[in-house]
Structure 1
Amino acid sequence: MNGNGSSRLEGAVVAVAGAAGPAGRAALLRLAEAGATVVASDADTERLAEAVDAARYAHGGATVTGDTVNLLDLDATRAWAEQTEKEFGRIDGLVHLVGGWRGSATFAETELADWQFLEKLLIRTVQHTSLAFHEPLKRSDRGRFVLVSQSGATKPTEGNAAYAAAKAAAEAWTLALADSFRKAGGEEGPKAAAVILVLKALVHDAMRAERPNAKFAGFTDVTELAEAIAGVWDRPAGEANGQRLWLTPKP
């Protein structure tokens, strides 16, 4: 934030992939509050419409739109990026919030079907969004690609082999994108940045209501995550690019 309370998100155009869940809803609200034009996508049309309406209602005058996009289809993802840039004239961010979890009690009980499921959700969607938004983000004067990852990618537990491996692959892919931004910036340094936000797990009000006695130790509230996402734009690209920003203690 600068002195008058505005941020570099004022007037920015930010796409949010996987916007219909609790983390997506919180991100839409926070980005709209900061003055961004928010372009949300999700595979669930009904929940997406609810999330978009909530953000619009909370911030009268904010431009928040929703598109049902199949992020497992590269052509569809590219079409979404192209349409967004054509309609709004620029793209300053892609926030990746597509999530999912499958796991087992022990390593020996790992189901490889879980890997096939998670590879699509947690890796393929990162590949497709990064490839589709790469050039528009490079053209921006404040382009940011934000991946939300999990501490297990650094220190996997036996029952989370598929999940942790998928998250680690998504991180590696994002760091390769960061290297592209670094090279494109030359001696002046990158204008765009790819950033990884690392957390243990997310918690939101509905979870607390369901389990009033649970401590949720080390969990990150979705509103805290949304704040961290918005804060990525306040960091200079050269400082943020290729960084893992920890929202939980490192394991």
Structure 2
Amino acid sequence: MPEVAGRTVLIAGATSASGLVAARALADAGARVIAVGRDPRKLAELTAAVPGIRTEEADLTDQADVAALAERVHADGGRIDGVLHLVGGWRGGGGLAGQTDDDYRFLEGSLTALRHVTRAFDADLRASPGARLAIVSSTSVARPLAGGANYAALKAAAEAWTRAVAQGFAKAARDAEEPLQAASVVFRVKALEGLESALAEAYVALWDESASEVNDTVIDLTA
């Protein structure tokens, strides 16, 4: 089995509570962590809390910014072996009538960031001998409510994108007649608060399983 030790893992949206816990868990497991966020002050706080990690300031909803980030990562011959996508947030309520376009556009940022990051580092992940991509989705995808229709719809779209990445990994391996080495996974939670450690542990543990066992799977962390 591949191990996370020695892998380079990018945490997208790393300046949240879950980003801090994930950065610490990955660093403790021997991974090289690249923590990406938009707020330089919060990135500095993250560096102080988890010494030795690399931080990068970037707006992941901006394609040019993500392309520049990829250039910086690759400048010294680096390659990404893992992505943990934590860009998110919640807005909703008020039934269908309360599902505003402003809220939709805010929530859409997470999907946009996922699209930009996975496209920018797709070649890296496919070339890695042990790549793991994971997103955090919601149990509302399976049971959407009117007051969270925007949120559930965009989480469903993010899951579809992540599963498409999984299919791309599998097809590339088949076409090359090589074993599958990369896996794309969906974690679902009802609410992430209180599950930060469980998420970090589950992500690190993906390297303890073969890619064929975890690729294109949905893991409910609230079960």
Q: Please give the alpha-carbon distance, in whole angstroms, between the structure 2 residues aligned to 1:78 and 1:237.
A: 27
**1:91 is matched by which residue type in structure 2?**
I
| Counterpart pick for 1:193 among 174, 180, 183 | 183
Q: Which residue of 2 aligns with 1:9?
A: 4
| 2:166 paired with 1:178 | yes
Which residue pairs with 2:203 in the alignment? Answer: 229
**Secondary structure, counterpart of 1:145 in structure 2:** strand
The partner residue of 1:203 within 181, 193, 205 is 193
Q: Which residue, out of 115, 124, 133, partners 1:127?
A: 115
Q: What is the CA–CA distance in structure 2 between the aligned matches of 1:83 and 1:11, rounded to whole Å?
A: 19
User: Residue 20 in 1 paired to residue 10 in 2?
Assistant: no
**What is the aligned partner in structure 2 of residue 53 from structure 1?**
48
Query: What's the counterpart of residue 212 of structure 1?
Result: none
SS of aligned partner of 1:202: coil
Q: Which amino acid aligns with 1:123?
A: L
Q: Answer 1 or 2: higher relative contact order, Cα 8 Å, separation at least 6.
A: 2
Counterpart selection for 1:102 from 80, 91, 94? 91
Partners of 2:199 and 2:67 in 1: CA distance: 27
Unaligned runs of 5+ in 1: 57-62, 205-220
With over 3 angstroms needed to count, the CA separation of the structure-2 counterparts of 1:20 and 1:107, relative to structure 1, is same
Matched, 1:245 2:213: no
Pairing partner for 2:59 from 70, 74, 79: 70
Quote the offset at 1:86 in angstroms: 3.2
AA paired with 2:113? Answer: T
Deviation at 1:12, TM superposition (A): 0.7
Q: Equivalent residue of 2:68, what SS?
A: helix
Q: Give the aligned partner of residue 115 of structure 1.
A: 104
Letter in 2 for 1:232: L
**Larger Rg, first or second structure (1 or 2):** 1
2:31 aligned residue: 36
Report how many residues are paired: 221
Deviation at 1:191, TM superposition (A): 1.4
**1:117 Cα deviation (Å)?**
1.3
What are the superposed Cα offsets for residues 77-124 of structure 1, whole Å, 9 maximum, x if unpaired?
12212322333632110110011110013222221221111112x210
Q: Do structure 1's residue 93 and structure 2's residue 82 form an aligned pair? A: yes
Asked if the contact 2:92/2:98 (under 8 Å) is kept, the reply is: no
Give the aligned residue type for 2:158.
A
Q: Which residue of 2 aligns with 1:141?
A: 129
Match of 2:142? 154
Unaligned runs of 5+ residues in structure 2 are none
In structure 1, what residue type is equivalent to 2:145? Answer: T
Q: Find the partner of 1:169 among 130, 147, 157.
A: 157
- String of CA shifts for 1:180-226, please: whole Å, max 9, x gaps: 0000111444211111111110224xxxxxxxxxxxxxxxx211111
Q: Secondary structure at the match of 2:167?
A: helix
